[in-house]
Amino acid sequence: MQSHSSEQEGGVALKHYGAMALRWSLVLIFLWYGFMKFTAYEAKGIAPLVMHSPLLSWAYNLLGERGFATALGIVEITIGVLIALRPFSARASGIGSCAAIVAFITTLTFLLTTPGVWQEGYGFPYLSGPIGQFLIKDVVLLAASIWTAGEALAAARMRTA
């Protein structure tokens, strides 16, 4: 019976550290990618994704390559900061995680709109290396965002109840 209890404790600890790893990896990704958006290199890199997107091409056309990238960088940094506020404000972190959900759903639409996502000569389901494989990771990031949003908003609700 003792080993069963220690296994449960180990599972609880892993669950706790896994939750922290999910949240803080989202923070790292949003801050890192957000700050990269202020560089010409990254602005040029995201151009093929956003210029073909029915959701974002209007903003790209309005703001231009660097202006759009800068605006997106500000949004991403804001999302990262909001998620990081979890120790201080579960509500703010939940709002940031909800914004992350929207961000990752948006980037996943690029799988349908960006030329070069599917391996030339093979098509679906063969993802190309540079674009398709880069985008598909957002499925896991979307799932992490959904979990962190649920956790943080449930905690915020418990505090107000």
Q: Is 127 strand, coil or helix?
A: strand
Instruction: Count the alpha carbons within 13 Å of 155 in the hemisphere toward its beta carbon.
Output: 17
Per-residue pLDDT, 5:
75
Per-residue pLDDT, 90:
97
Two structure tokens written together for 45: 């890199």
Cβ atoms of residues 63 and 121 within 8 Å: no
Tell me the C-alpha distance between 28 and 6, whole Å.
32
Block means of pLDDT (10 residues each) for the chain, length 161 residues? 70 92 97 98 95 96 98 98 97 98 97 92 88 94 98 91 61
Minimal CA–CA distance to 50: which of 29, 35, 74, 66?
66
Tell me the C-alpha distance between 111 and 8, whole Å.
40
Tell me the C-alpha distance between 134 and 111, whole Å.
10
Minimal CA–CA distance to 71: which of 81, 62, 101?
62
Per-residue pLDDT, 55:
95
Minimal CA–CA distance to 107: which of 71, 74, 76, 66?
76
Cβ atoms of residues 105 and 55 within 8 Å: no
Cα angle 51, 56, 59 (rounded to 5 degrees) comes to: 90
Per-residue pLDDT, 3:
63
Minimal CA–CA distance to 21: which of 147, 139, 159?
147
